[in-house]
Chains A and B, each alone.
Chain A
Amino acid sequence: MTTPSSAPSTLAALVHCACHEQGGGGPFDPLRLRKDFPILTLTVHKDKTLAYLDNAATTQKPASVVCVLCEYYQACNANVHRSLHYLAEQATLRFEEARRKVQRFIGAPSERSVIFTRGTTEGINLVAQAWGRRNLKPNDEVVLTGMEHHSNLVPWQLVAKETGAKLKFVPVLDDGALDLDAYGRLLKGRVRLAAFTHISNVLGTVNPVKQMTAMAHAAGALVLVDAAQSVPNRPVNVADIDCDFLAFSGHKMLGPTGIGVLYGRLEILERMEPFLAGGEMINRVTLEESTWADLPQKFEAGTPHVSGAIGLGVAVDYLQRVGMETIRAYDEHLARSMIARLDAIPGVRVFGRAPERGGAVSFEVEGVHPHDLAQFCDKDGIAIRAGHLCAQPLMQRFGVPAVSRASVYFYNVEEELDRLVQSILKAKAFFHGA
């Protein structure tokens, strides 16, 4: 197991597992890495080998992550930051070690700027409520884009309604890229915040977040980056982007569900009031009033997801052994390979042709509803996503009620894409033929 040197030496004896080396060892080889993911050997619907192409929704977990959860509860479980006993000390050490792993992974200048959340959604809501609701005034403007996931749209709609602030949207061009000229014009208004996704979960578009951040800062606005799709996919460095907030989810990057991260610029976090209130986040409490704990605890009310954070730390270890630049290049290669295959099928339309892209590819098949297509794929053991993908405004932009999406990760292989094509052809023949 991957445990800090300070962890009890009995842990290894409790859980017999040789998964701590996973992800490393020799040049990049997806077939070798697949062996670290027991679920990828499953057969579904009796005899179909699982082809998991729904990675933009959630990724699978290597055995090292699954094992550390089990090991934590069997050998380390305690509440953190409070009790003065052996287990509590070990749990706290490992929880904070996970925070430092994340800090180094995203290039955050201080571990105090790394807040554990339940996921991207909670991170964005934290900023919307704790920063937005207090700082936005009537007619202030928040610039979003037309390709946001509902989780980077609806929280701002709520805050805009309460504060009287206005939401403005950067249009999406036909190729799936953002209209940066329009963005520049929008920034001339009373903009207090620009909030945009790094990689679209629908179109796969990689937005130029560093440039967009510099433009927003020059206009006097803060910047929040939704990095749910990008932190799993490529090197992401918050100091390099220079954003003020960046949110992502553990479960889309090999980690457990229910854990995520909000990075915030220290001086801004320090000025912000808490989001959730309760235990852990206080300093001194009387019946009348309270003072707040230091960062990051000020934003971590209640018992945190200790095992989740530790699992996320192990996921980060795994990703770093594979190499984030390697993952980026392979995901892009596989996504382009899929697009080439889809383009070769008459009646298939791919959404999202921006020059730089991640692993998600959305498409429609003429005459076959995405749900019916997903049903055909599922029958062949292929997991894809169908629906509005939590981006209804983007569906409206492209004039479709729903799309199908296949999204790859570093453990996917070309053969799975061939199988996807076969299922698409089968569905097409079925619905067009009869």
Chain B
Amino acid sequence: MELDELYQDILLDHFKHPRNYGPLPEPEVLVDELNPTCGDHIRLTARLENGRVADVRFDGQGCAISLASASMMSELMRGLTPDEARARAADFVAFMRGEKDLDPDTLGDLAALAGVRQFPLRIKCATMSWHALEKALGKLGG
């Protein structure tokens, strides 16, 4: 696999122009997620409105893959119920680990992360923010 398959344009776009970057001023929940093997750090803030995810924002330090993945995640979560968000996160993590196939049409920008599955050492970069999301949903108790 070539590097431009790993670092696809959509991924680079999210890396260079991360969506929903910076913390919420008054988050309902704040999660700090560390990747102890590399020292990367992501802070995730979120809030619900009427039983649905109103905002997920993030900031921190990470490689192109971890920041792009966080950016994509933050876009996809808006409007989902906590249960839907949890299911989405579980599906994505299983997809990255090669434990589950997902319909390419449902992936959206996440399809750009499919190449990461060929690089076992980088899978945790892509899943880091999703684990932070799972923790945030747990804290929200929704």
The CA-CA distance from A431 to B62 in the complex, in Å, is 14
A363-406 Cβ-contact flags toward B at 8 Å (1 or 0): 00000011110011001000000111000100100000110000
Q: How large is the interface on B (under 10, 10 to 19, 20 to 34, 35 or more residues)?
A: 20 to 34
Q: Which of B54-80 contact A (CB under 8 A)?
A: 61-65
| A344 at interface by CB-CB < 8 Å | no
Q: Is the CB of B62 within 8 A of A369?
A: yes
Task: Look across to chain B and name the residue whose beta carbon is closest to the beta carbon of A392.
Answer: B39
Distance to closest chain A CB from B42 (angstroms): 11
- The reply to whether the CB of A430 lies closer than 8 angstroms to some CB of chain B is yes
Expressed in whole angstroms, the Cα–Cα distance for A376 and B4 within the complex equals 10
> Which chain A residue has the least Cβ–Cβ distance from B12?
A434
> For A375, what are the chain B residues with a Cβ–Cβ distance below 8 Å?
3, 6, 119, 122
Cα(A431)–Cα(B9), bound, Å: 11
Chain A residue with the shortest CB-CB distance to B3: A379
The docked-state distance in angstroms from the alpha carbon of A431 to that of B16 is 9
Determine the residue in chain B with the shortest Cβ distance to A396.
B39
Given known A-B contacts A401-B61, A431-B64, A434-B16, A371 and B7 have beta carbons under 8 A apart: no
Residues of A within 8 A of B41 (CB): 401
Q: Is residue B109 within 8 Å, beta carbon to beta carbon, of the partner chain?
A: no
Chain A proximity of B68: nearest CB distance (Å): 11
Question: Is chain A's interface secondary structure helix, strand, loop, or mixed overall?
Answer: helix
In the complex, chain A residues whose CB is within 8 Å of the CB of B134 = none
Q: Mark A265-300, 1 if CB is under 8 A from B, else 0.
A: 000000000000000000000000000000000000
Nearest chain A CB to B118's CB is how many angstroms away? 12
- How many Å lie between the Cα of A434 and that of B7 in the bound state? 11
When chains A and B are docked, how far (Å) is the Cα of A212 from the Cα of B14?
A: 50
- What are 30 of the A-B contact pairs (CB < 8 Å)? A369-B63, A369-B64, A371-B40, A371-B65, A371-B122, A372-B7, A375-B3, A375-B6, A375-B119, A375-B122, A379-B3, A386-B38, A387-B37, A387-B38, A388-B39, A392-B39, A395-B39, A401-B40, A401-B41, A401-B61, A402-B38, A402-B39, A402-B61, A430-B3, A430-B7, A431-B12, A431-B15, A431-B64, A434-B9, A434-B16
